Amino acid sequence: MFPWIVWSVILLAPFIVGATFAVRTARQASKADRVMRVLAECPGWRRLVPARDGGPWNGYAGHFPWMTRTRYGTAVAGPLDEHPATVARFWEPVGRRDVRHWLVVCFDVPDSGPMLRLERHWSAAELGLRFPGDIPYLVMSDDREAMTERFYASDLPERLARFGGPAVSHATFGVCFLFPMSSVVDLGGLLDELAAMVPDLAAMARFAAPSATEEPEEPQDAP
């Protein structure tokens, strides 16, 4: 009888672990929704309602197009460190019973600078990209080599890792952070930290951009 018990435990272990993970993620999603409801009551904040606002918010689509396959959950909008921001939860079915939740935090920063993407392994895979497993981020910009060196020499990798290691998209129309909900612990503290990162990301993105003040050289007359 004992061997059968051992084999039963071995066979059921993946299902037990998966169920535990799913329950934990669902609890984190519920907790995030509660925080967003509190935010919606703060001055300048409001809850986004698809029926009232012309459909589900999709401001993330320009940053993470593959996220358009997900389904709308909850979203609120308001000011964070003087920037208009949107905090939203999305979800998608995984298999027959599981559900994956995502947290998106986007800042509306017009003319924030050139493109800079910081892809995690899971977000890079959505784009068909791979990079070495011992590197936490794949840096993508116009000058990838210089930007990668500058990024890893800064404190941004440590700061991002401290708050769950999101994928990051910096574009001319704003900055967007994407988290698997399972990596989100303290949403309130997270939002403050992300807002503080926005100017640092903008400064880093501009580092590799051609200087707008540089004037083209005048052509030399042929001898």
- Looking at residue 210, its pLDDT comes to 57
pLDDT band at 26 (very low <50, low <70, confident <90, very high): low
- Looking at residue 128, its pLDDT comes to 96
d(CA 164, CA 171): 21
Sheet containing 98-108: which strands, arranged edge to edge?
46-47, 71-80, 83-94, 98-108, 174-180, 167-171, 116-119, 138-141
Q: At what angle do helices 187-207 and 2-40 cross, to 10 degrees?
A: 80
Residue 215 in any domain: the answer is: no
- Looking at residue 209, its pLDDT comes to 58
Residue 36 in any domain: the answer is: yes
Residue 219 in any domain: the answer is: no
Residue 213 in any domain: the answer is: no
Helix spans in the chain (H): 2-40, 50-53, 121-126, 144-153, 156-162, 187-207
Residue 56 in any domain: the answer is: yes
- Mean pLDDT over 41-49 rounds to 93
Overall pTM > 0.75: yes
Domain of residue 82: give its range: 2-207
d(CA 99, CA 95): 8
Give the chain's domain count.
Answer: 1
pLDDT band at 28 (very low <50, low <70, confident <90, very high): low
